[in-house]
Amino acid sequence: MHTSLSGARIALWLGIAVIAVAAATLPKASALDKPTGTVVLTIDGAISQTNNGAQAQFDMAMLEKLPQHSFSTQTPWYPSAVTFTGPLLRDVLAAVGAKGKNITAVALNDYKTEIPVDDATRHDVIVARLMNNRPMRVREKGPLFIVYPFDTKAELRSELYYNRAAWQLHILRIR
């Protein structure tokens, strides 16, 4: 019995060693990839995952790799319902390890709006990269547009939430 117990211990230690070597050779998932295309979104502030100094930068391909969501909604800016597609804001925040309570969204024209991080968990807010299944040009409020699913809850159909929508988005500051 003593011999088989020693054999079992040896097998256990060999198994642990194989697992340790395999784990050491796996790629680390601690950092974001660096963008290879044009940077369309920069996130800074209270974040733990970066790829450019203290910032996290995304090109469109990186945003496309996140889970995509679509919804159609009425907005004050278009005469009929529009379909928006992109990653959920909460998924973008998770990708950078956001730790703050507030977001300042900054547009290409320096328009700024404050968004509580809680909005990203309470509502299916998306960082839209497509409108009606097409990329948005700058003149069409693109390339990115923070959009709330306005038609899903009466509370979202108000100036408060319309003002939190940010088109021509290019920076998120987490505080």
pLDDT at 31: 64
Domains in the chain with CATH codes: 32-174 (3.90.420.10)
Residue 64's pLDDT band (boundaries 50, 70, 90)? very high
pLDDT, mean of residues 35-53: 97
Collect all residues with Cβ–Cβ distance below 8 Å to 72 and sequence separation of at least 6: 81, 82, 83, 84, 151
What does R_g of the chain's alpha carbons equal in angstroms?
A: 22
| Secondary structure (3-state) at 123 | coil
pLDDT in tens, 99-117: 999 999 999 999 999 999 9
pLDDT of residue 20: 39
Give pLDDT, residue 162: 98
Residue 19 — very low, low, confident or very high, per pLDDT cuts 50/70/90? very low
Confidence of residue 68 (pLDDT cuts 50, 70, 90): very high
Q: Measured between alpha carbons, how far is 19 from 17 in angstroms, rounded to an integer?
A: 5
Mean pLDDT of 54-66: 97
CA 142 to chain centre: 17
Predicted TM-score (pTM) of the model is 0.82
* Cα 146 from Cα 25, distance rounded (Å): 39
Tens of pLDDT, residue by residue over 115-137, are: 999 999 999 999 999 999 999 99
**3-state SS of the chain: helix, strand, coil percent to 5?**
35, 30, 35
Kindly tell me if the per-residue pLDDT of 17 is higher than 90: no
Distance CA 89, CA 54 (A): 20
